[in-house]
Amino acid sequence: MGVAGLFYPRRPLLTGTLFMMLGALIFVVWAVGWITGSPSGIVFASATWVGFGLGAVWKFRNSAVRSAHVAEWTGKA
């Protein structure tokens, strides 16, 4: 999650992809049995991270929106 957060200002699509991968990883690790917990809690956590990732990918799917976002973060118009 920290790595995805570090990529957010300049690479929002990569951040969304990393969030989706994190959600999938949480689910796979639970399915394999390496972590235990309530199935509903694990599925909720996985779905939350996948949702965050899909939201970022959907929001920044247009190159004009991505470039405006980078310009705002870097101060270079």
Handedness of CA 11, 15, 17, 18 (dihedral sign): positive
Neighbours of 47 (CB within 10 A): 13
d(Cα 27, Cα 51) in Å, to the nearest integer?
14
The encoded tokens of residue 30 equal 């639970």
pLDDT tens digits, 10-67:
788 888 898 999 999 988 998 888 887 788 888 898 999 999 999 989 999 998 998 8
The pTM (predicted TM-score) of the whole model is 0.77
Domain segments of the chain as ranges: 2-74
Residue whose C-alpha is closest to residue 20's, from 50, 58, 63, 57: 50
